[in-house]
Amino acid sequence: MPTIRINDIDLYYDRSGEGEPLLFLHGLGSSSRDWELQTTYFSSRYHVITVDTRGHGRSEKPPGPYSIDLFARDIVELHKALELGPVHLVGLSMGGMIAFQLAVDQPSLVHSLTIVNSGPALILNTLRLKLSFKKREWVVRLFGMRKMGKLLANALLPESHQQELHRAFIDRWAENNRKAYLTSLQALIGWSVADRIRNIRCPTLIVSADQDYTPLAYKQAYAAKIPRTEIAVIKHSRHMSPIDQPDAFNHALDEFLARHPVAGHP
């Protein structure tokens, strides 16, 4: 199992293929396994790297507190250890938050940036948002990870043709360490780099599902502040576009990457 000692923890990662480096960052409660459909698609032409962030998957789950900044610093050290050079960086949900943090803190490491169903801040400024996050916390505390997985699967993968994905989602979610999940959840709340995204100069793709938690208008508003940004809308998709609409997502990302090659790679 490929692990590397990073910031005093063992971090799990995987790499496949050759070419321009393409680094995927997963969401909260997820892991590198949820990029399987992207790894299969892109590794014939790119050097694909996936990683389990601390507290997730096969990486170590030390006591908290965690933070988006800490997650990002783990990725920086992994990047250095693997000697990747400037990468195409793709982040989903929490992974998008980590990607934003990297893009503003370590711009030399990021050749292109793809943000999937995410944003540059998570401020609980409405009662609805506060209740949503409090509900997650108490469901996990009282009923465990499998129950939380069922609730999320029902919301994110409700279609009859998604039954296999629905079952797999619940089984994987149940594997989460409860304490590490709650610690990671707390890391998201109050985080923001919204006042710094104007400084992002790399080509940027904002991917929005048409039925995501947050509306397209939210993504359009922050995308307008980033100089070299385009938006791709994935139809008939909810929050997990790389899983529920992999063909459409892979096509949108593939076209974007092709327009912005990394110099020095064939």
Residue 174 sits at the vertex; the CA angle it makes with 170 and 180, to the nearest 5 degrees, is 130
Q: Would residue 81 count as lying in a domain?
A: yes
* 161 Cβ contact list (under 8 Å, min separation 6): none
pLDDT of residue 266: 67
Give percent above pLDDT 90 in the chain.
Answer: 95
Give the whole-angstrom CA distance, residue 5 versus residue 7. Answer: 7
Q: Would residue 168 count as lying in a domain?
A: no
pLDDT of residue 131: 92
H helices of 106-245, in order, are 127-143, 145-156, 163-174, 178-188, 216-223, 241-244
Give percent above pLDDT 70 in the chain.
Answer: 99
Residue 47 lies in domain: 3-122+192-259
Give yes or no for residue 158 having a pLDDT over 90: yes
**Mean pLDDT across 88-94:** 98
pLDDT of residue 1: 62
Q: Would residue 80 count as lying in a domain?
A: yes
**Mean pLDDT across 203-231:** 97
pLDDT of residue 194: 97
* 176 Cβ contact list (under 8 Å, min separation 6): 29, 56, 145
**CATH number of the CATH domain containing 15:** 3.40.50.1820
Per-residue pLDDT band at 226 (split at 50, 70, 90): very high
**Mean pLDDT across 226-232:** 97
Task: Give CA torsion, residues 194, 191, 212, 139, to 10 deg.
Answer: -170
Render pLDDT for 110-145 as a digit per residue (tens, 0 to 9).
999 999 999 999 999 888 889 989 999 999 999 999
Please state, rounded to an integer, the average pLDDT across all residues of the chain: 96
**Mean pLDDT across 180-197:** 97
pLDDT of residue 129: 87
Q: Would residue 173 count as lying in a domain?
A: no
Render pLDDT for 16-54 as a digit per residue (tens, 0 to 9).
999 999 999 999 999 999 999 999 999 999 999 999 999
Please tell me the total count of domains within the chain.
1
**Mean pLDDT across 241-257:** 98
pLDDT of residue 264: 76
**Mean pLDDT across 192-207:** 98
Q: Would residue 252 count as lying in a domain?
A: yes
51 phi/psi in degrees, rounded to 5: -150, 145
Q: Would residue 265 count as lying in a domain?
A: no
Give yes or no for residue 237 having a pLDDT over 80: yes
Q: Would residue 60 count as lying in a domain?
A: yes
Q: Would residue 21 count as lying in a domain?
A: yes
